[in-house]
Structure 1
Amino acid sequence: MAGSTKNTPFRKPTTRRDSKVERQGAQSRYGLVSTVAQLIDLLAQFEGPADAAISRFFKDHPELGGRDRPMVAEAVYCWLRYRYRINHLAQAGEGPSVVRQAKLALLWSGAPEQIWSAGKQADNEWLSRVINISADDLGVEARTCLPEWFYLKLAEQFGESRAESFSQAVLSAAPLDLRVNTVKASTTDLLAALTNMGIQVNPIEGLPEGLRAVGKPIVGKTEVFQEGYFEVQDAGSQWVSRLVAPRRGDLVIDFCAGAGGKTLAIGAQMKNTGRIVALDTSEKRLVKFKPRAARSGLSNFYTMVINDEADPRLNKYFGKADRVVTDVPCSGMGTLRRNPDLKFRQSLQSLAELTAKQKSIIEHAAKLVKPDGRLVYITCSVLRDENEDIVNAFLESNPEFRLRRWTEVLNPGERPVKANTTDDMLRLWPEDGESDGFFAAVLQRSKA
C-alpha cells in the first residue's frame, strides 16, 4: 500500500545515553518496563478516557518521580497509537505478552536502550526479530493501526489513498495550538510575550488569532495564561468556531457547550457583547467551563444544564436565536492524534447510536433559530455518516433551511489554506497538517 510505512517505527532508533540510567541495576530498569506493563493492563479495559486513567495511575503511584512519569506516559501513548501492531507482534514471543508490549512501546517512544532491553534474554531476541518486520506484510489493523471497520469505511467513502494517509497521520502526536483572547491581547503582543519567555510559537496561516508552539512547552503555568491572554485550542476547532460569525449584540445558543472552548472563542468574536447561552447535559463539563470563562474576562454568557435536546425549558428560545451552534457528540475519530484511545471505544454499534443522537439534536436545535438566523453543525469526526449524511437528511426534511458555502462565511485571509474551497461544507484532515479532523456546515434559515 502506498505510504503505509511512513511514520512506522520498525527500525531500531539511535539510543540516548544517560549516566544516571546506566548506574541503575537491571532490577530497577526492568521495574519501569513493569510499570508500563501495569498501566497498559489497566488501560486495555477502555472504561474511560485514557488521559484521566493515566493521571489517576500517577496519583496512586507517588514513587514514580518527575523523571519517570514523562517516559511512562510517552510509552503508553505510543502503545495506544500502535496497539494493533504491538499486540500482533507481541503474540510471537513466550509468556505474558504485556511485557513485550511494554518493551515495544518504550522502544518506539524513544526510551533509552538500557530500559527497554532489560529483562529476559528471550524477550530481547524476540525484539530483535520483530523490529525488522515490514508493516506491509501485516493485516489491515496491524498495518494501519486502525479498527478494520473504520478503515474500510474510510476507504469506501474517500478512497484507499485517503484512508492510508489518514492512518499514518494519526500515528503522530498533535501540535500544541493556542488561540489569542482578543478581549485581552493582540496576536502580535502575545507572540512577543511568549518569545521573551523562551516559548517559541509561530502564527498559523489563515487563522488571525492562532499560534502554534514549537515542541510541547508547558504553557498552563505561565503568567500570560493565568491572566487569560490565550486558550489552548486546536486550529480546526478555532476555524469552525469562526464559522459561527456572530455579530455584536447577537443571541447565540451553544447547544453542546462542553468545557466551553468554542463558547469562549465565539464570545471573543462578539467582543463581550450580546448574549451566549451555553447548554450541556453534563454539569461536570460546565463546571470546568466557569474558571476558563473567569480567566478570559468574558461576561456575555450564562450556562444551563439541560436534561436532553428536547428539554421543555428550551421552548422560551424557539425562533429567537441569531446563531445556534451544535458541536454534537460524535465518534471523535478526527482527534486520534490527541485521543488515540477513542478508536478502541467506538464500533459500528456506537456509531449507529451516535448518528441517531446527532439527527435528534440538529432537529431540536433548529427550532431555536430565528428567521434569517444560522445553525452551525460541527463534529470532530471524518466519517460521512456523522457529517454530510446528517446535514443532507436534515435539509431534505427542513426546506426552510439552505446550505451556505463555508467560503461565503470565512474571509479569504481567514481560511484553512488546504481545505477544498469548492465544497459547500468545511472538512479538515489531520494529514494536511493544519489541524485535527473537523467538519462543519452552515445552515441558513429563510426570512419570515
Structure 2
Amino acid sequence: MAGSSKKKSPLRRPSTGGARVNRGAAGPRYGVISLVAQLIDLLNLFDGPADAVISRFFKDHPELGGRDRPVVAEAAYCWLRYRYRINHLAQSGEGGPTVMRQAKLALLWSGAPEAIWSAGRSEDNEWLSRVIHVPVDNLSQEPKTCLPAWLYEQITTEFGPDRALSFAQAVLSAAPLDLRVNTLKASTQEVVAGLAAQGIEVLPIAGLEDGLRAVGKPVVGRTEMFQEGLFEVQDAGSQWVSKLVAPRRGDLVIDFCAGAGGKTLAVAAAMKNTGRVVALDTSERRLQKFRPRAARSGMSNFYTMVINDEADPRLNKYFSKADRVVVDVPCSGMGTLRRNPDLKFRQGPQGVAELVEKQKSILHHACQLVKPDGRLVYITCSVLKQENEEIVEWFLANNPEFRLRRWTEVLNPADRPASADQTADTFRLWPEDGESDGFFAAVLQRSKS
C-alpha cells in the first residue's frame, strides 16, 4: 500500500468471497474480463457519475446475471480507486491489450475468484505474476498515491505530507455501510434485533446513539424494516454534521440545499415531527427522491420547494424567520472518494474555484433567512481548506452580525466523534481517522439584534 517502505503492491489481496461467478468453461470467465474492459473504456471517458455509467452498462448487457454483476461492479470501482497504479502497471510489459490487463488487475484487487482473472491470454497471466512483486515505493507520485497531482499537492500544502499520504491510503478502501435508526418509528435495539433475525449483523458507532455499521455489505434496501422506514442508509460523518444543527422542538429549519434529504430526515427525527422543516433545492429530480423517503420515515412536518437559484425571490417570506438554516453546499466531494472515486478525475482546480464562488453566493443569500439568535450550519463533504475554513473566514469578514460558535459547545461530550479535533472551532472529519467520509462543518450564530 502507499506510504510504507515495507509493503508491496497489494496485488495479492484475498478474495472477499462475497460475489460468485458463473462456473462454466473458460470462455464465460474470459467474457467477464472482456466486459470489465469494456466498462473501463466507458468509465475512462468521465462524462458522468460512475454509478450512472455502471447502471447503464448493466442495462445494455443483460447477459450479466445477478452473480456476475457484483464482480464487474467491484472491479470497476477498484479500477477507479487504483486507476493511476493499474494503468501504469498494465503498460509495463510486451503484448496484450492494455485495457484487458487493467481489467485483470482490477478483478484481482477487488477480490474476484482466481478462475476469473487467470482466464484468457497466457501472456497477460505471465505479466500479472511479474507485477505483483513491484514495490509501491518504487513508483512515481500518481501511481504510488493514486491521487491526481493537483489534489495530492494541495492537501500536502494545506496539511502536510503525512496527512496527504494517510488520506491517499484511506480513500483506496471502500466505505463501510452505515445506518441511522429512525427514532420516529423504532429504537436502536429493535433495529439491531430485527436485522439480526434476517442474518444481518450491525455494530454500534461510538458517539452516535442512533448510528449502526453493518458487517460486510448486506443488501439492506430490500428488507421490510427499510421499506417500512425504520432506518436509513447514512454515512456516520453525515449523521454527525446533522447533529450539529441541534434543532429544538417547534423550530423552523430550512435545509437550503436539501438534495435527496438524508440530513433533512435526520433533523426532522431529532425534532420528533414538531415544528417545520423546509427542504429547498434547485433540482426537482433530487426532491422527488426525498419525498418518498420522507413518507416512508413517517415525517409529516416538512415542505419542499424547487427554487430557481439561491436568489429566488420566493424565499423573501422566510427572511429573518428561520431558527436554523442548513447549508450543505455543492462542493468538490473530495471527502467522499471512497464511495465516489471518479470525482478525483472529474474535478480539478478550475472546477473547485468555480464551486467556491457558488458557495459564497449561496451563503450570502442563505444567511438572510436566519432569525436573530438563530444559527446557520455550513457543511461540505470536502477536505480542502479552500472550500472550508477559507469560506468561513470570508463569510465572517463580510457578515459581522454572525460569530463562529465552537462545535464542542453544540455537541455533548458523549455525542462527539473521538477523531475530531476537540480544540478546534470548526468541525472536521477525515476518512482515515474515524472511518467516515471526510466532512467539514461550521456553526455560525447570528446576534440577538
* Coarse TM-score class (shorter-chain normalised): over 0.9
Q: Take 1:308 and 1:23, find their aligned partners in 2: how far apart are those partners?
A: 53
Q: CA deviation at 1:25?
A: 2.7
Q: Take 2:4 and 2:331, find their aligned partners in 1: how far apart are those partners?
A: 27
Helix, strand or coil for the counterpart of 1:441? strand
Q: Take 1:386 and 1:184, find their aligned partners in 2: how far apart are those partners?
A: 36
Amino acid at match of 1:208: E
Is the CA contact 2:11–2:108 (under 8 Å) kept in the aligned structure 1? Answer: no
**CA deviation string 1:109-146 (max 9, x = no partner):** 11122221222222222212211111111111110001
Q: Take 2:214 and 2:117, find their aligned partners in 1: how far apart are those partners?
A: 30
Q: CA deviation at 1:160?
A: 0.5
Q: CA deviation at 1:310?
A: 0.8
Is the CA contact 1:175–1:213 (under 8 Å) kept in the aligned structure 2? Answer: yes
User: In the alignment, which residue of structure 2 is the partner of 1:169?
Assistant: 170
Change (3 A) 1:22 1:288: closer
Is the CA contact 1:46–1:345 (under 8 Å) kept in the aligned structure 2? Answer: yes
In structure 2, the gaps of 5 or more residues are none
Q: Take 1:426 and 1:17, find their aligned partners in 2: how far apart are those partners?
A: 38
Q: Take 1:273 and 1:303, find their aligned partners in 2: how far apart are those partners?
A: 16
Comparing 1-10 with 118-127, greater Cα deviation is found at 1-10
User: In the alignment, which residue of structure 1 is the partner of 2:260?
Assistant: 259
Q: TM-score, normalised by structure 2?
A: 0.96
Where in structure 2 are the equivalents of 1:306-385 lying within 5 Å?
A: 306-385=307-386
User: In the alignment, which residue of structure 2 is the partner of 1:409?
Assistant: 410
User: In the alignment, which residue of structure 2 is the partner of 1:132?
Assistant: 133
**CA deviation string 1:69-88 (max 9, x = no partner):** 11111111110110011111
Q: Take 1:46 and 1:98, find their aligned partners in 2: how far apart are those partners?
A: 16
Comparing 177-186 with 22-31, greater Cα deviation is found at 22-31
Q: CA deviation at 1:9?
A: 4.5
Where in structure 2 are the equivalents of 1:85-164 lying within 5 Å?
A: 85-93=85-93, 94-164=95-165
**CA deviation string 1:145-178 (max 9, x = no partner):** 0111000000111110011111111111111110
Is the CA contact 1:179–1:210 (under 8 Å) kept in the aligned structure 2? Answer: yes
Q: TM-score, normalised by structure 1?
A: 0.96
Q: Take 2:141 and 2:126, find their aligned partners in 1: how far apart are those partners?
A: 26
Is the CA contact 2:78–2:106 (under 8 Å) kept in the aligned structure 1? Answer: yes
Is the CA contact 1:2–1:161 (under 8 Å) kept in the aligned structure 2? Answer: no
Change (3 A) 1:13 1:396: closer
Amino acid at match of 1:50: A
Q: Take 1:355 and 1:250, find their aligned partners in 2: how far apart are those partners?
A: 30
Helix, strand or coil for the counterpart of 2:54? helix
Helix, strand or coil for the counterpart of 1:208? strand
Change (3 A) 1:68 1:404: same
Helix, strand or coil for the counterpart of 1:367? helix
Q: CA deviation at 1:27?
A: 2.3
Q: Take 2:224 and 2:135, find their aligned partners in 1: how far apart are those partners?
A: 48
Change (3 A) 1:87 1:237: same
Change (3 A) 1:30 1:404: same
Paired positions, count: 447
Matched, 1:70 2:61: no
Q: Take 1:17 and 1:144, find their aligned partners in 2: how far apart are those partners?
A: 27
Is the CA contact 2:402–2:444 (under 8 Å) kept in the aligned structure 1? Answer: yes
Q: Take 1:15 and 1:286, find their aligned partners in 2: how far apart are those partners?
A: 39
Change (3 A) 1:4 1:411: same
Where in structure 2 are the equivalents of 1:377-396 lying within 5 Å?
A: 377-396=378-397
Q: Take 1:168 and 1:401, find their aligned partners in 2: how far apart are those partners?
A: 38
Where in structure 2 are the equivalents of 1:172-183 lying within 5 Å?
A: 172-183=173-184
User: In the alignment, which residue of structure 2 is the partner of 1:36?
Assistant: 36
Amino acid at match of 2:421: N
Amino acid at match of 2:105: L
Q: Take 2:200 and 2:16, find their aligned partners in 1: how far apart are those partners?
A: 25
Helix, strand or coil for the counterpart of 1:330? coil
User: In the alignment, which residue of structure 2 is the partner of 1:201?
Assistant: 202
**CA deviation string 1:332-377 (max 9, x = no partner):** 0101111111111100010101111011111110111010000000
Is the CA contact 1:248–1:274 (under 8 Å) kept in the aligned structure 2? Answer: yes
Q: Take 1:120 and 1:204, find their aligned partners in 2: how far apart are those partners?
A: 46
Q: Take 1:251 and 1:289, find their aligned partners in 2: how far apart are those partners?
A: 19
User: In the alignment, which residue of structure 1 is the partner of 2:59?
Assistant: 59
User: In the alignment, which residue of structure 1 is the partner of 2:221?
Assistant: 220
Helix, strand or coil for the counterpart of 1:310? coil
User: In the alignment, which residue of structure 2 is the partner of 1:297?
Assistant: 298
**CA deviation string 1:85-106 (max 9, x = no partner):** 1111112233431111001001
Q: Take 1:40 and 1:5, find their aligned partners in 2: how far apart are those partners?
A: 30
Is the CA contact 2:29–2:115 (under 8 Å) kept in the aligned structure 1? Answer: yes
Is the CA contact 1:22–1:114 (under 8 Å) kept in the aligned structure 2? Answer: no
Amino acid at match of 1:350: G
Comparing 108-117 with 159-168, greater Cα deviation is found at 108-117
Is the CA contact 1:36–1:75 (under 8 Å) kept in the aligned structure 2? Answer: yes
Q: Take 2:50 and 2:271, find their aligned partners in 1: how far apart are those partners?
A: 35
Comparing 189-198 with 60-69, greater Cα deviation is found at 189-198
Q: Take 1:15 and 1:356, find their aligned partners in 2: how far apart are those partners?
A: 45
Is the CA contact 1:4–1:168 (under 8 Å) kept in the aligned structure 2? Answer: no
Change (3 A) 1:67 1:6: farther
Q: CA deviation at 1:188?
A: 1.6
Amino acid at match of 2:178: D
Q: CA deviation at 1:6?
A: 8.9
Change (3 A) 1:10 1:199: closer
Helix, strand or coil for the counterpart of 1:102? helix
